[in-house]
C-alpha cells in the first residue's frame, strides 16, 4: 500500500476546507472512490450516465432508472438559437475552454436557474448540451459547417464523438470515451470544484458556479495539463528522443505537464485505466509510436524524480489516437467533471455557510493619505 503524501505548506495543502460524501482521494495514498465505489470498478463496469446518476443522485441506477435518465438527457440536447448565434461569433482562434465558459454563461442568461428546486434540471441540461455546444462552435468556426446536435447518439460519450466528427463513431472509441468520462467525473476538493463550492456558498446560481469552475479547470496546472502533455509528446520523434527531451527539461527545472499530483504520493489510480486504453487504441491504429513515447516518459520521470503520470498524461495519446484535436481535450474534461461540480454545489447548498477564510497580512503599516502635491 502506498504511503500517504505529507500534506503541508502553501496552497491550503492538508487543510480541511469542508465535508463531502461524494468521493475520497488518496485515502490509502493511491485510491479514488465515488460514493464508496472504486473508480476502477466503475470504469470497468459502468457507462458514464450510470456514474453521473451515482454522483448526482447518490446511487447507481436500476435498469429502468438508467433508461429513463438517458432518454431524459437525450431529449435535452438542442441548442437555443441565441446560443448558436453567440457561438457563431466566437473566432476559430479562441480557446475552446473560453468557448465552454461563454457557452455556459450564455445558457445561464437564457435558461436561468430561478430557484434551487431547479438544480437537477439545470445540471441535466448542461450535461446534455455541453458536447454539442463545443462541437457546434468547433465545426462552424473551423469548417464553416452548422452541425445537427440532436443526433441519434445513445450516450454522452457517443454524442461528443458524433458531434465532433459529424458522423456515428466507432464502437471502440465510444467505449474509451465512456471510461475517460468516468475517470474525470469527480475528485473531491480540487481547484475547479473548490471554485464551484466557493461560488455556491454565496447562494449563487448553478451556471455561475459551473462557469467559474470551467475557468479554474482551464489552467495547465489542472485540467489544461492533458493538452500541454500532448503538445510535449507530439514534438518527440521516438522513445529515445523522448528520454533526451525530458532529461533536458528536468535539467532546466522545467515542469512536465501530466506528472505529479497535489494529493497522491506514488500513483494516480486513473492512470492505469487510461494507459491500458491508450495501448489498445495504439494497437488498433497500427501505430504505437505515441504510446511507446508516453511509456518511456513515464519510466524516465519515475526513475529521475519519482514523479508519476496523473490522470492527464495518457489521456493525451488516447484522445490523439481517436482523432480528437488537442485543443478540445480539456472541454471533454468539462463534459465529465460537470457531474462532480454540480454535486458539490448541491452538497454545499444543503449545508451552507459562506466560505470566507482569513488572510495573513504582510503589507505596510497603517499610514495616512498625503495631498497630491506632496507625493513623489
Ligand atoms: C487532473 C489534474 O488536474 S491532475 C494535475 C494536472 N497538472 C499537471 O500535470 C501539471 C504538472 N504538475 C504539477 O505542476 C504539480 O505536480 C501539481 C500542480 C499537480 C501538484 O503541485 P504540488 O502539490 O505543489 O506538487 P509537489 O508538492 O508534489 O511538488 C514537489 C516537487 O516536485 C516538483 N514537481 C511536481 N510536479 C512536477 C512536474 N510535473 N514536473 C517537474 N517537477 C515537478 C515540484 O516543483 C516540487 O519541487 P520543489 O520541491 O523543488 O519545489
Ligand atoms: O485533485 C486535484 O488536485 C486534481 C485532479 O486530479 C482532479 O481534479 O482530477
**Global ipTM:** 0.98
Ligand 2 geometric centre to CA of 190 (Å): 5
Of the listed ligands, the closest to the CA of 301 is: 1
List, for residues 212-264, the tens digit of each pLDDT value.
999 999 999 999 999 999 999 999 999 999 999 999 999 999 999 999 999 99
Q: In a mutational test of the pocket of ligand 1, which residue from 14, 221, 260 has the highest number of ligand atoms less than 8 Å from its CB? A: 260
User: Residue 341 has which C-alpha cell?
Assistant: 461540480
Residues 285-293: contacts with CB under 8 Å, at least 24 apart: 285/321, 289/238, 290/233, 290/234, 290/317, 290/320, 290/321, 291/317, 291/321, 292/238, 292/239, 293/233, 293/236, 293/238, 293/239, 293/241, 293/242, 293/317
CB 207 within 8 A of CB 341: no
User: By three-state DSSP, how is residue 237 classified?
Assistant: coil
CA distance linking residue 232 with residue 246, whole number of Å: 10
Q: Is 316 in the pocket of ligand 1 (CB under 6 A)?
A: no
Q: What is the pTM of this model?
A: 0.97
Ligand 2 geometric centre to CA of 270 (Å): 11
Closest CA to ligand 2's atom 9: 187
CA distance linking residue 324 with residue 281, whole number of Å: 13
Q: Is 263 in the pocket of ligand 1 (CB under 6 A)?
A: no
Catalytic residue among 261, 268, 315, 344: 261
- Ligand 2 atom with the smallest distance to the CA of 184 is 9
In tens digits, the chain (376 residues) has pLDDT values of 566 788 888 999 999 999 999 999 998 766 999 999 999 999 999 999 999 999 999 999 999 999 999 999 999 999 999 999 999 999 999 999 999 999 999 999 999 999 999 999 999 999 999 999 999 999 999 999 999 999 999 999 999 999 999 999 999 999 999 999 999 999 999 999 999 999 999 999 999 999 999 999 999 999 999 999 999 999 999 999 999 999 999 999 999 999 999 999 999 999 999 999 999 999 999 999 999 999 999 999 999 999 999 999 999 999 999 999 999 999 999 999 999 999 999 999 999 999 999 999 999 999 999 999 999 8
Amino acid at each position: 500500500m502506498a504511503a500517504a503524501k505529507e500534506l503541508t505548506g502553501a496552497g491550503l495543502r492538508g487543510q480541511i476546507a469542508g465535508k463531502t460524501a461524494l468521493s475520497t482521494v488518496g485515502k490509502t495514498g493511491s485510491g479514488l472512490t465515488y460514493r464508496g465505489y472504486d473508480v476502477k470498478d466503475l470504469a470497468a463496469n459502468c457507462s458514464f450516465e450510470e456514474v453521473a446518476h451515482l454522483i448526482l443522485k447518490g446511487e447507481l441506477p436500476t435498469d429502468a432508472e438508467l433508461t429513463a435518465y438517458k432518454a431524459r438527457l437525450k431529449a435535452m440536447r438542442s441548442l437555443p438559437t441565441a446560443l448558436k448565434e453567440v457561438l457563431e461569433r466566437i473566432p476559430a482562434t479562441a480557446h475552446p475552454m473560453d468557448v465552454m465558459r461563454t457557452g455556459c454563461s450564455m445558457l445561464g442568461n437564457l435558461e436561468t436557474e430561478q430557484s434551487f428546486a431547479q438544480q437537477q434540471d439545470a445540471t441535466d441540461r448542461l450535461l446534455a448540451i455541453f458536447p454539442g455546444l463545443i462541437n457546434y462552435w468547433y465545426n462552424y468556426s473551423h469548417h464553416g459547417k452548422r452541425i445537427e446536435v440532436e443526433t441519434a447518439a445513445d450516450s454522452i460519450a457517443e454524442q461528443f464523438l458524433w458531434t465532433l466528427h459529424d458522423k456515428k463513431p466507432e464502437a471502440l472509441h465510444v467505449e474509451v470515451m465512456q471510461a475517460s468520462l468516468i475517470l474525470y467525473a469527480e475528485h473531491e476538493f480540487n481547484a475547479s470544484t473548490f471554485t464551484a463550492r466557493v461560488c455556491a456558498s454565496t447562494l449563487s446560481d448553478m451556471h455561475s458556479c459551473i462557469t467559474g469552475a470551467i475557468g479554474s479547470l482551464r489552467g495547465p496546472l489542472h485540467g489544461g495539463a492533458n493538452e500541454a502533455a500532448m503538445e510535449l509528446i507530439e514534438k518527440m520523434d521516438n522513445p529515445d528522443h523522448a528520454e533526451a527531451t525530458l532529461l533536458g527539461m528536468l535539467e532546466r527545472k522545467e515542469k512536465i505537464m501530466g506528472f505529479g499530483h497535489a494529493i497522491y504520493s506514488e500513483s494516480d489510480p486513473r492512470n492505469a485505466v487510461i494507459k491500458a486504453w491508450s495501448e489498445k487504441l495504439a494497437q488498433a491504429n497500427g501505430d504505437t509510436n505515441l504510446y511507446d513515447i508516453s511509456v518511456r516518459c513515464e519510466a524516465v520521470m519515475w526513475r529521475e524524480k519519482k514523479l508519476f503520470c496523473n490522470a492527464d498524461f495518457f489521456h493525451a495519446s488516447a484522445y490523439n489516437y481517436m482523432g480528437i484535436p488537442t485543443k478540445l481535450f480539456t472541454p471533454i474534461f468539462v463534459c465529465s467533471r460537470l457531474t462532480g461540480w454540480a454535486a458539490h454545489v448541491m452538497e454545499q447548498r444543503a449545508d451552507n455557510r459562506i466560505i470566507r477564510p482569513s488572510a495573513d497580512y504582510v503589507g505596510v503599516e497603517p499610514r495616512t493619505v498625503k495631498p497630491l502635491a506632496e507625493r513623489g
